[in-house]
Amino acid sequence: MIVLGIETSCDETSVGIIDDNKILVNEIFSQKIHSQFGGVVPELASRAHLQKILLILKDALKNANLTLNDINLVCSTAGPGLIGALIVGYCFGSGLSLAINRHFVPVNHIDGHIYSVFLNNEEIEFPYIALLVSGGNTALYFIEGFYKATLLGTTLDDAAGEAFDKVGKLLGLKYPAGAAIESLAKNGDENYHSFPVAVIQGKYDFSFSGIKTSVLRFIQRNFPDGMSEIDKANISASFQKAVIEALLLKTLSAVNEFKVKHVAIVGGVASNKYLQKKFCDSISTNIKLHVPEPSLCTDNGAMIAFAGLKSFETNYYSKAKITHPFPN
Ligand code: KG4
Protein backbone atom coordinates (compact mmCIF):
# COMPACT_ATOMS: atom_id res chain seq x y z
CA MET A 1 0.00 0.00 0.00
CA ILE A 2 1.37 3.45 -0.95
CA VAL A 3 0.94 5.83 1.98
CA LEU A 4 1.52 9.58 2.12
CA GLY A 5 2.45 11.11 5.49
CA ILE A 6 2.42 14.83 6.32
CA GLU A 7 4.25 16.23 9.36
CA THR A 8 3.92 19.87 10.48
CA SER A 9 3.77 19.66 14.29
CA CYS A 10 6.69 22.00 14.99
CA ASP A 11 9.42 23.47 12.76
CA GLU A 12 9.85 20.71 10.16
CA THR A 13 7.60 20.69 7.10
CA SER A 14 7.80 17.16 5.78
CA VAL A 15 6.10 14.83 3.31
CA GLY A 16 7.03 11.15 3.24
CA ILE A 17 5.75 8.42 0.94
CA ILE A 18 6.15 4.76 1.87
CA ASP A 19 5.27 1.44 0.32
CA ASP A 20 4.50 -0.70 3.39
CA ASN A 21 7.71 -0.23 5.42
CA LYS A 22 9.86 0.84 2.48
CA ILE A 23 10.56 4.57 2.21
CA LEU A 24 10.07 5.89 -1.32
CA VAL A 25 10.79 9.48 -0.39
CA ASN A 26 11.07 11.52 2.80
CA GLU A 27 11.28 15.25 2.03
CA ILE A 28 12.11 17.32 5.12
CA PHE A 29 12.34 21.10 5.21
CA SER A 30 13.75 22.37 8.54
CA GLN A 31 12.69 25.97 9.07
CA LYS A 32 15.77 28.13 9.65
CA ILE A 33 13.84 31.28 10.49
CA HIS A 34 13.69 30.40 14.21
CA SER A 35 17.45 30.27 14.82
CA GLN A 36 17.65 34.06 15.30
CA PHE A 37 15.01 33.88 18.09
CA GLY A 38 16.60 31.09 20.13
CA GLY A 39 13.51 28.85 19.85
CA VAL A 40 10.49 28.12 17.67
CA VAL A 41 8.12 31.07 17.13
CA PRO A 42 4.70 29.38 16.65
CA GLU A 43 3.18 31.99 14.32
CA LEU A 44 6.24 31.97 12.05
CA ALA A 45 6.22 28.17 12.01
CA SER A 46 2.57 28.06 10.81
CA ARG A 47 3.26 30.59 8.06
CA ALA A 48 6.37 28.76 6.88
CA HIS A 49 4.43 25.44 6.74
CA LEU A 50 1.76 27.13 4.64
CA GLN A 51 4.35 28.56 2.25
CA LYS A 52 6.15 25.24 1.81
CA ILE A 53 3.68 22.38 2.08
CA LEU A 54 2.44 22.29 -1.52
CA LEU A 55 5.96 22.63 -2.94
CA ILE A 56 7.20 19.83 -0.73
CA LEU A 57 4.33 17.55 -1.76
CA LYS A 58 5.12 18.23 -5.44
CA ASP A 59 8.83 17.50 -4.86
CA ALA A 60 7.99 14.29 -2.99
CA LEU A 61 5.73 12.99 -5.79
CA LYS A 62 8.31 13.94 -8.44
CA ASN A 63 11.22 12.32 -6.60
CA ALA A 64 9.22 9.14 -5.97
CA ASN A 65 8.10 9.13 -9.61
CA LEU A 66 4.45 8.96 -8.54
CA THR A 67 1.24 10.91 -9.13
CA LEU A 68 -1.55 11.58 -6.64
CA ASN A 69 -3.47 8.72 -8.24
CA ASP A 70 -0.89 6.25 -6.91
CA ILE A 71 -1.51 7.25 -3.28
CA ASN A 72 -3.75 4.78 -1.39
CA LEU A 73 -3.90 6.44 2.03
CA VAL A 74 -3.26 9.97 3.37
CA CYS A 75 -2.07 10.61 6.94
CA SER A 76 -1.29 13.84 8.83
CA THR A 77 0.01 14.56 12.31
CA ALA A 78 -2.96 15.65 14.41
CA GLY A 79 -1.08 16.36 17.68
CA PRO A 80 0.63 16.96 19.99
CA GLY A 81 2.39 20.04 18.70
CA LEU A 82 1.95 23.74 17.95
CA ILE A 83 -1.72 24.22 17.19
CA GLY A 84 -1.35 26.58 14.22
CA ALA A 85 1.37 24.40 12.72
CA LEU A 86 -0.74 21.25 13.15
CA ILE A 87 -3.77 22.85 11.51
CA VAL A 88 -1.78 23.50 8.33
CA GLY A 89 -0.77 19.85 7.86
CA TYR A 90 -4.07 18.46 9.09
CA CYS A 91 -6.23 20.59 6.79
CA PHE A 92 -3.87 20.06 3.86
CA GLY A 93 -3.94 16.27 4.32
CA SER A 94 -7.67 15.94 4.97
CA GLY A 95 -8.47 18.21 1.99
CA LEU A 96 -6.13 16.22 -0.21
CA SER A 97 -7.72 12.92 0.86
CA LEU A 98 -11.14 14.29 -0.09
CA ALA A 99 -9.87 15.48 -3.48
CA ILE A 100 -8.40 12.08 -4.39
CA ASN A 101 -11.10 10.09 -2.62
CA ARG A 102 -8.87 8.17 -0.19
CA HIS A 103 -9.10 7.46 3.54
CA PHE A 104 -7.57 10.06 5.84
CA VAL A 105 -5.81 8.92 9.03
CA PRO A 106 -4.94 11.44 11.78
CA VAL A 107 -1.73 10.37 13.54
CA ASN A 108 -0.36 11.06 16.99
CA HIS A 109 3.14 12.51 16.56
CA ILE A 110 4.51 10.36 19.39
CA ASP A 111 3.26 7.16 17.70
CA GLY A 112 5.15 8.34 14.62
CA HIS A 113 8.39 8.45 16.61
CA ILE A 114 8.00 5.25 18.62
CA TYR A 115 7.33 3.09 15.54
CA SER A 116 9.90 4.89 13.34
CA VAL A 117 12.45 2.13 14.05
CA PHE A 118 10.48 -0.20 11.75
CA LEU A 119 11.57 1.96 8.81
CA ASN A 120 15.21 1.24 9.58
CA ASN A 121 15.40 -2.09 7.72
CA GLU A 122 16.36 -3.82 10.95
CA GLU A 123 14.78 -6.73 12.72
CA ILE A 124 12.98 -5.27 15.69
CA GLU A 125 10.62 -7.41 17.70
CA PHE A 126 7.88 -6.74 20.22
CA PRO A 127 8.00 -6.20 23.08
CA TYR A 128 10.51 -3.38 23.25
CA ILE A 129 11.28 -0.36 25.39
CA ALA A 130 11.23 2.94 23.51
CA LEU A 131 12.97 6.03 24.82
CA LEU A 132 11.58 9.07 23.02
CA VAL A 133 14.00 11.99 23.30
CA SER A 134 13.22 15.08 21.27
CA GLY A 135 12.88 18.82 21.59
CA GLY A 136 9.28 18.58 22.76
CA ASN A 137 9.12 15.19 24.50
CA THR A 138 11.09 12.89 26.74
CA ALA A 139 9.29 9.69 27.69
CA LEU A 140 9.72 5.96 28.18
CA TYR A 141 7.29 3.40 26.73
CA PHE A 142 6.80 -0.36 26.99
CA ILE A 143 5.60 -1.46 23.55
CA GLU A 144 3.90 -4.81 23.07
CA GLY A 145 2.54 -4.29 19.56
CA PHE A 146 1.30 -1.63 17.16
CA TYR A 147 -0.90 0.66 19.21
CA LYS A 148 -0.23 -1.39 22.34
CA ALA A 149 2.12 1.04 24.09
CA THR A 150 2.20 1.78 27.82
CA LEU A 151 3.64 5.07 29.00
CA LEU A 152 6.07 4.30 31.83
CA GLY A 153 7.28 7.80 32.59
CA THR A 154 7.80 11.21 31.14
CA THR A 155 9.59 14.46 31.83
CA LEU A 156 7.96 16.52 34.52
CA ASP A 157 9.28 19.75 33.01
CA ASP A 158 11.72 20.28 30.12
CA ALA A 159 12.39 17.70 27.41
CA ALA A 160 16.01 16.55 27.02
CA GLY A 161 16.33 18.28 23.62
CA GLU A 162 14.91 21.45 25.13
CA ALA A 163 17.64 21.33 27.80
CA PHE A 164 20.28 21.00 25.04
CA ASP A 165 18.75 23.99 23.25
CA LYS A 166 18.53 26.15 26.38
CA VAL A 167 22.08 25.34 27.49
CA GLY A 168 23.17 26.04 23.90
CA LYS A 169 21.68 29.51 24.20
CA LEU A 170 23.72 30.10 27.38
CA LEU A 171 26.83 29.07 25.43
CA GLY A 172 25.96 31.47 22.60
CA LEU A 173 24.92 28.74 20.14
CA LYS A 174 22.11 29.00 17.62
CA TYR A 175 18.80 27.13 17.96
CA PRO A 176 18.56 24.11 17.74
CA ALA A 177 21.79 23.57 19.64
CA GLY A 178 21.87 19.80 20.30
CA ALA A 179 24.20 18.85 17.46
CA ALA A 180 26.49 21.85 18.16
CA ILE A 181 26.79 20.87 21.85
CA GLU A 182 27.65 17.31 20.84
CA SER A 183 30.34 18.57 18.51
CA LEU A 184 31.78 21.06 21.10
CA ALA A 185 31.77 18.29 23.72
CA LYS A 186 34.16 16.19 21.63
CA ASN A 187 36.97 18.60 22.58
CA GLY A 188 35.93 18.93 26.21
CA ASP A 189 36.42 17.06 29.50
CA GLU A 190 33.20 15.32 30.58
CA ASN A 191 34.51 15.19 34.18
CA TYR A 192 35.25 18.92 34.29
CA HIS A 193 32.17 19.63 36.43
CA SER A 194 29.43 17.46 37.86
CA PHE A 195 26.08 19.04 36.87
CA PRO A 196 23.25 17.58 38.97
CA VAL A 197 20.19 15.99 37.39
CA ALA A 198 17.16 16.05 39.71
CA VAL A 199 16.18 12.75 41.33
CA ILE A 200 12.48 12.23 40.63
CA GLN A 201 9.95 10.31 42.71
CA GLY A 202 8.24 8.59 39.76
CA LYS A 203 10.23 5.49 38.87
CA TYR A 204 10.52 6.32 35.17
CA ASP A 205 9.98 10.07 35.17
CA PHE A 206 12.62 12.63 34.22
CA SER A 207 13.39 16.26 35.00
CA PHE A 208 15.75 18.47 33.03
CA SER A 209 14.86 22.01 34.03
CA GLY A 210 17.18 22.01 37.08
CA ILE A 211 20.32 21.20 35.12
CA LYS A 212 19.77 24.19 32.86
CA THR A 213 19.63 26.50 35.89
CA SER A 214 22.69 24.79 37.31
CA VAL A 215 24.64 25.48 34.09
CA LEU A 216 23.42 29.10 34.15
CA ARG A 217 24.62 29.63 37.77
CA PHE A 218 27.94 27.91 37.00
CA ILE A 219 28.57 30.25 34.06
CA GLN A 220 27.52 33.36 36.02
CA ARG A 221 29.79 32.37 38.94
CA ASN A 222 32.88 31.33 37.02
CA PHE A 223 32.81 33.26 33.76
CA PRO A 224 31.48 36.79 34.41
CA ASP A 225 33.74 38.06 31.58
CA GLY A 226 32.85 35.40 29.01
CA MET A 227 34.01 31.89 28.12
CA SER A 228 36.82 30.61 25.92
CA GLU A 229 36.15 27.85 23.40
CA ILE A 230 37.69 25.27 25.75
CA ASP A 231 35.47 26.45 28.64
CA LYS A 232 32.44 25.97 26.36
CA ALA A 233 33.71 22.55 25.31
CA ASN A 234 34.19 21.45 28.94
CA ILE A 235 30.74 22.69 29.96
CA SER A 236 29.16 21.00 26.92
CA ALA A 237 30.86 17.68 27.67
CA SER A 238 29.92 17.73 31.37
CA PHE A 239 26.33 18.78 30.64
CA GLN A 240 25.91 16.14 27.91
CA LYS A 241 27.26 13.43 30.21
CA ALA A 242 24.81 14.32 33.00
CA VAL A 243 21.74 14.34 30.71
CA ILE A 244 22.65 11.11 28.94
CA GLU A 245 23.40 9.32 32.23
CA ALA A 246 19.93 10.21 33.51
CA LEU A 247 18.33 8.88 30.30
CA LEU A 248 20.45 5.74 30.41
CA LEU A 249 19.75 4.96 34.05
CA LYS A 250 15.94 4.94 33.71
CA THR A 251 15.96 3.17 30.35
CA LEU A 252 18.18 0.35 31.63
CA SER A 253 16.00 -0.01 34.68
CA ALA A 254 12.91 -0.44 32.40
CA VAL A 255 14.79 -2.94 30.20
CA ASN A 256 15.56 -5.02 33.29
CA GLU A 257 12.10 -4.81 34.78
CA PHE A 258 10.25 -5.69 31.55
CA LYS A 259 12.88 -8.21 30.45
CA VAL A 260 12.87 -7.03 26.84
CA LYS A 261 15.44 -8.01 24.22
CA HIS A 262 15.02 -4.86 22.13
CA VAL A 263 15.42 -1.16 22.95
CA ALA A 264 14.64 1.74 20.61
CA ILE A 265 15.87 5.31 21.05
CA VAL A 266 13.89 7.71 18.89
CA GLY A 267 13.46 11.48 18.36
CA GLY A 268 15.93 14.24 17.50
CA VAL A 269 18.33 13.66 20.44
CA ALA A 270 18.67 9.96 19.46
CA SER A 271 21.03 11.01 16.66
CA ASN A 272 23.61 12.00 19.33
CA LYS A 273 26.57 9.62 18.83
CA TYR A 274 27.75 9.95 22.44
CA LEU A 275 24.30 8.81 23.62
CA GLN A 276 24.34 5.87 21.19
CA LYS A 277 27.81 4.79 22.35
CA LYS A 278 26.95 5.06 26.06
CA PHE A 279 23.84 2.92 25.52
CA CYS A 280 25.72 0.37 23.40
CA ASP A 281 28.46 0.10 26.05
CA SER A 282 25.93 -0.32 28.86
CA ILE A 283 23.42 -2.86 27.58
CA SER A 284 24.23 -6.54 27.66
CA THR A 285 25.12 -8.26 24.40
CA ASN A 286 21.83 -10.18 24.16
CA ILE A 287 19.86 -6.91 23.98
CA LYS A 288 19.62 -5.16 20.64
CA LEU A 289 19.67 -1.37 20.39
CA HIS A 290 17.78 0.28 17.52
CA VAL A 291 18.27 3.92 16.57
CA PRO A 292 16.67 5.28 13.40
CA GLU A 293 18.94 6.93 10.85
CA PRO A 294 19.23 10.73 11.44
CA SER A 295 16.51 11.72 8.93
CA LEU A 296 14.09 9.42 10.79
CA CYS A 297 15.15 10.69 14.24
CA THR A 298 14.04 14.21 13.42
CA ASP A 299 10.38 15.03 12.71
CA ASN A 300 9.51 13.55 9.31
CA GLY A 301 6.59 12.53 7.10
CA ALA A 302 7.69 8.90 6.53
CA MET A 303 7.22 8.03 10.22
CA ILE A 304 3.75 9.59 10.13
CA ALA A 305 2.90 7.55 7.02
CA PHE A 306 4.05 4.33 8.74
CA ALA A 307 2.22 4.99 12.03
CA GLY A 308 -0.86 5.96 9.96
CA LEU A 309 -0.65 2.74 7.97
CA LYS A 310 -0.50 0.65 11.16
CA SER A 311 -3.38 2.65 12.63
CA PHE A 312 -5.41 1.96 9.48
CA GLU A 313 -4.53 -1.75 9.42
CA THR A 314 -5.40 -2.24 13.10
CA ASN A 315 -8.44 0.04 12.80
CA TYR A 316 -7.01 2.02 15.72
CA TYR A 317 -7.74 5.33 14.02
CA SER A 318 -11.49 4.85 14.26
CA LYS A 319 -11.31 4.79 18.07
CA ALA A 320 -8.20 6.95 18.58
CA LYS A 321 -8.34 9.79 21.08
CA ILE A 322 -6.56 12.24 18.78
CA THR A 323 -8.74 12.76 15.73
CA HIS A 324 -7.95 16.41 15.02
CA PRO A 325 -5.77 19.19 16.50
CA PHE A 326 -8.49 20.23 19.00
CA PRO A 327 -9.26 17.16 21.16
CA ASN A 328 -11.37 17.96 24.22
O1 KG4 B 1 12.48 15.24 17.10
P2 KG4 B 1 12.95 16.61 16.77
O3 KG4 B 1 13.47 16.84 15.37
O4 KG4 B 1 11.79 17.64 16.93
C5 KG4 B 1 11.28 18.26 18.03
O6 KG4 B 1 10.89 17.62 19.02
O7 KG4 B 1 11.21 19.51 17.93
O8 KG4 B 1 14.07 16.99 17.84
C9 KG4 B 1 14.76 18.20 17.81
C10 KG4 B 1 15.60 18.25 19.07
C11 KG4 B 1 16.22 19.62 19.31
O12 KG4 B 1 16.02 19.93 20.67
C13 KG4 B 1 17.69 19.41 19.00
O14 KG4 B 1 18.56 20.27 19.70
C15 KG4 B 1 17.88 17.96 19.42
O16 KG4 B 1 16.70 17.31 18.99
N17 KG4 B 1 19.04 17.35 18.77
C18 KG4 B 1 20.11 16.87 19.45
C19 KG4 B 1 21.03 16.40 18.47
N20 KG4 B 1 20.47 16.58 17.24
C21 KG4 B 1 19.24 17.16 17.45
N22 KG4 B 1 20.37 16.83 20.76
C23 KG4 B 1 21.54 16.30 21.14
N24 KG4 B 1 22.49 15.83 20.28
C25 KG4 B 1 22.27 15.88 18.94
N26 KG4 B 1 23.19 15.41 18.09
Domain contains 78: yes
Same domain, 144 and 274: yes
Domain contains 325: no
Same domain, 306 and 257: no
CA of 272 to the centre of ligand 1 (A): 9
Same domain, 267 and 156: yes
Domain contains 322: no
Same domain, 286 and 300: no
Q: Is the CB of 161 under 6 A from ligand 1?
A: yes
Here the CATH number for the domain that contains residue 42 is 3.30.420.40
Same domain, 260 and 305: no
Distance CA 184, CA 194 (A): 17
Same domain, 148 and 81: no
Number of domains forming the structure of the chain: 2
Domain contains 92: yes
Domain contains 326: no
Q: Is the CB of 299 under 6 A from ligand 1?
A: yes
Q: Is the CB of 292 under 6 A from ligand 1?
A: no
Q: Is the CB of 268 under 6 A from ligand 1?
A: yes
Same domain, 60 and 151: no
Shortest-distance atom of ligand 1 to CA 137: 6
Same domain, 195 and 281: yes
Range of the domain at 186: 124-291
CA of 136 to the centre of ligand 1 (A): 9
Q: What percent of the chain shows pLDDT beyond 70?
A: 99
Domain contains 321: no
Same domain, 200 and 285: yes
Q: Is the CB of 174 under 6 A from ligand 1?
A: no
CA of 43 to the centre of ligand 1 (A): 20
User: What's the pLDDT at 327?
Assistant: 63
pLDDT mean over 143-172: 96
Shortest-distance atom of ligand 1 to CA 164: 14
Same domain, 138 and 277: yes
pLDDT one-digit tens code per residue, 40-70: 999 999 999 999 999 999 999 999 999 999 9
pLDDT one-digit tens code per residue, 71-109: 999 999 999 999 999 999 999 999 999 999 999 999 999
pLDDT one-digit tens code per residue, 102-146: 999 999 999 999 999 999 877 899 999 999 999 999 999 999 999
Same domain, 136 and 199: yes
Domain contains 51: yes
Domain contains 328: no
Query: What is the pTM for the complete model shown?
Result: 0.95
